[in-house]
Chains A and B, each alone.
Chain A
């Protein structure tokens, strides 16, 4: 399995500001995923990030709002830009297992509240 560290674990932000969430993995992984979990709801995939290429965004999510970096095989960042209260959610980083097991492992998440 992979150990995934996310920072910050939680934050309270003002409307109009931006927050960058970091995701660090203890091993090299090809695919990293960013999910959003709105209060009381399920997970929604924001984008898939592969090292060395542009992230692939799901319908309803755009790069200007959620820019992603993937500088190497163990690290990624997600930025939530120009935040509004509707962005208040838990943001989760996930990686695909490298053992060919088709399992995704998740970080503990970043709990974001926008005032």
Chain B
């Protein structure tokens, strides 16, 4: 069965600095990988996905993520963080042909002015 790990419960960065939120995954076949963001009292919002093709995928709000098959990672990145990026970020994986999406434990990003 597929699984995903987010090793950091909390990430703190200063506004204007680059940010990285880490994610590693485990699947037996080809992975579909996703990042979602959750703002307080809101549902999850889709940020970006990797299905196939270029390893670097670009998503909403200036976020991007790099698929690394050898390291089984899909880290979320942004070159310059904004205070408004402060939220809870979830990495998710599903296996090709499966409807079962597994979410990581979430990483709380705090961007300080």
Residues of A near any B CB (own CB < 8 A): 1, 4, 6, 31, 41-43, 45, 48, 92, 94, 96, 101-109, 111
Contacts and interface: CB of A to CB of B under 8 A. Distances in A.
The size class of the interface chain B forms with chain A is 20 to 34
A104 B103 CA distance: 12
Contacts of B32: 102
Nearest to B6: A42
B56 interface: no
Interface of B: 32, 34, 36, 41-46, 49, 51, 90, 94, 99-101, 103-106
A41 B105 contact: yes
A4 B43 contact: yes
B101 A45 contact: yes
B34 A103 contact: yes
A42 B99 contact: no
A48 B94 CA distance: 15
Contacts of A92: 43-44
Contact of B90 (A42, A45, A101): A42
A42 B101 CA distance: 12
A102 B94 contact: yes
Contacts of A94: 44
Contacts of A103: 34, 46, 49
Contacts of B94: 102
